[in-house]
Homo-oligomer: A and B are copies of this chain.
Amino acid sequence: MSHHGFGPDLVEVFGPSQSDGGPELVQLLTPEGERTHHPEFDRDFSAEELRGFYRDMVLTRRIDVEATALQRHGELGIWAQLLGQEAAQIGAGRALRPQDHVFPTYREHGVAWCRGVDPLKLLGLFRGVDHGSWDPAEHNFGLYTIVIGAQALHATGYAMGMQRDGVVGTGDPDRDAAVVAHFGDGASSQGDVNEAFIFAASYNAPVVFFCQNNQWAISEPIERQSRIPLYQRALGFGFPGVRVDGNDVLATYAVTQAALQRAREGQGPTFVEAYTYRMGAHTTTDDPTRYRLSDDVERWKLRDPISRVEVYLRRNGLVDDAWIEELKGEADELGARLREGCKAMPDPQPLDMFAHVYAEETDELRAQREGYAAYLETFEEAGR
């Protein structure tokens, strides 16, 4: 094809996304639990850090399992499962400093966990009692965003605000801050996400674009969104991109941490592609057997993000059975709390619908609210 003068066909060079992530994949812990090394992103982890990652992932998975069950029992309207993506989320979440700010999608339950958001609040949204009930400012963790990709721009703007606040590149580690924008492989096709790349590059904004490439956007495979590895998208916008093993919590942590540090220091945006797999359905209403092979799922089971850490911890004597048992107990307790808490969650009141439409309520909305209140009273009076 080079007779056209454009060099070899790029699709041939890069190939579509390889199922093992390809040679460019940054990995520090193999699926078999072997610690490997990387020329750029290597890093030592303390036993406590490693146990912490493991604990976070186990508890996050438990939240997910409980929520899925609660949906089956009719307690939630829907649930977006993260099964298989625990390492990507805990790695990204633990790399944050308190002053960093996160803009999640609807699936970042593991990151929410790292930010101290009570999982019950996540359930509330999927139960339909509210649209999000944690305080973004308190946790430096934004509300879930459902319109695909919109939050990538919010993150970029927030990062521009940090620049204006003088909390970027000061050299003070307790002060310098950055933003993480989460989104999926499918979202990478949205105009908003690509515009976010442009704004972030143009203003050199301190934002890390953290894309969990879980290979699927509902039923659409990653090949529909990109014919080359996604992390390379960033290069065309003039900032670095890197593909990390999203099922490897150590590598995800190390890469995200480096990207955040780069941003905090004032060196601008980075794109992190966390290469992972959506082990469950898209949401509890989805039926993936209609569009994907169970073989693929089986193959990815061998790369489970949690078991590889457990193997490593055990093999190196960093945990024992008692510790594991204790964690199990903690998970059971969490599960019980979620089940009970979810069912006990009070429904909103009819008139809540009118609250917070505006910071300064309008007369016309007040009249509508009062009219509806009066209407509801007629039923109470009628004893209905």
B-contact 0/1 string along A73-109, CB 8 Å cutoff = 0000000000000000000000000000000000000
Interface magnitude class on chain A: 35 or more
Q: Which residue of B lies closest to A201 (CB)?
A: B227
- CA A238 – CA B226 in complex, angstroms? 7
A283 is an interface residue with CB less than 8 A from chain B: no
- CA A259 – CA B6 in complex, angstroms? 8
Residues of B within 8 A of A259 (CB): 4, 6
Contact A228 B238 (CB under 8 A): yes
Q: Which residue of B lies closest to A220 (CB)?
A: B202
B-contact 0/1 string along A224-245, CB 8 Å cutoff = 1111100011111111101000
Residues of B within 8 A of A116 (CB): none
Residues of B within 8 A of A242 (CB): 5-6
Q: Which of A1-58 contact B (CB under 8 A)?
A: 1-2, 4-7, 9-11, 14, 40-41
Binds B, one of A172-180, A192-200, A348-356: A192-200
Q: Which of A171-227 contact B (CB under 8 A)?
A: 189-192, 194-195, 198, 201-202, 223-227
Residues of B within 8 A of A201 (CB): 226-227
Residues of B within 8 A of A191 (CB): 190-192, 194-195
A262 is an interface residue with CB less than 8 A from chain B: yes
Q: Which residue of B lies closest to A232 (CB)?
A: B236
- CA A225 – CA B191 in complex, angstroms? 15
Contact A10 B226 (CB under 8 A): no
A267 is an interface residue with CB less than 8 A from chain B: yes
**Contact with A239, one of B10, B239, B258 (Cβ below 8 angstroms):** B10
- CA A270 – CA B1 in complex, angstroms? 13
For A40, A194, A259, the residue with the greatest tally of chain B CB atoms inside 10 Å of its CB is A194
For A5, A189, A224, A262, the residue with the greatest tally of chain B CB atoms inside 10 Å of its CB is A5
Q: Which residue of B lies closest to A261 (CB)?
A: B4
**Contact with A232, one of B190, B198, B225, B235 (Cβ below 8 angstroms):** B235
- CA A201 – CA B2 in complex, angstroms? 18
Residues of A within 8 A of B (CB): 1-2, 4-7, 9-11, 14, 40-41, 189-192, 194-195, 198, 201-202, 223-228, 232-240, 242, 255, 258-259, 261-262, 267-268, 270
Closest 3 CB pairs of A and B: A191-B191, A236-B236, A5-B40
